[in-house]
Amino acid sequence: MSASALTRRYAKALVELAVEQQAVDRYGEELATVNAIFVREELLRLLLDSPTLVMSKKAAMLSDLAAALNLSEGMRKFLGLLLTKDRLRYLPQIEETYRRLADELSGVLRARITAAVALDAEQQRAIGASLEKQTGKKVALNVTVDPQLLGGVKAEIGGRLFDGSVRTQLKRIEESLTKG
């Protein structure tokens, strides 16, 4: 089975469980937290992936982590399943797929906004409202700053890029002037 099919299967099962337990947002947050810890604490992730460490020790380590993070029972069981099936290494892809499936379920689109300078709350609201009007869905913004833009904003949403950066506008002017 391909990795993408495998991660989709686990993410879909977790979304279904989360819907049943009315904990879609909580499971998403818990999944993101555990994934961030595995990224930050590489030694922990390597130990849990190690074929030489006995399963009981891995389970104890994972249980301690779950207790320290105060994870829900459903998430504890899910992580335990990933551990016993040797699937913890797929957690980043499972989290990404889970988030996408949960967003589809709730009708939310995630937009990645890149601006030349930090945007205040009113500017973010205006961009969000404009994107919601264009897409007809609720939009969640993830804003980053890239000083190389010179000015303006880029928005990536649903695989589409809306480029309103000064650099791109200058390139368009240059192209139109050179074409005559």
How big is the chain, counted in residues?
A: 180
**Kind and range of the H or E run holding 86:** none
φ, ψ of residue 7 to 5 degrees: the values are: -65, -35
The answer to whether the predicted template modeling score (pTM) of the entire model surpasses 0.75 is no
Residues 6+ apart with CB under 8 A from 108: 137, 138, 139, 140
DSSP H or E run through 25: helix 24-40
pLDDT of residue 90: 92
Place of tokens 């299967």: 9
Per-residue pLDDT of the chain (180 residues; tens, 9 = 90+): 677 888 999 999 999 989 898 888 899 999 999 999 999 999 999 999 988 989 999 999 999 999 999 999 999 999 999 999 999 999 999 999 998 888 888 778 888 888 888 888 898 888 888 888 887 888 888 888 888 877 888 888 877 787 877 778 888 888 888 886
* CA 18/CA 143 separation, integer angstroms: 27
140 closest CA partner among 115, 106, 164: 106
**3-class state of residue 179 by DSSP:** helix
Distance CA 50, CA 58 (A): 9
Q: How many CB atoms lie within 10 A of CB 54?
A: 9
3-class secondary structure, 45: helix
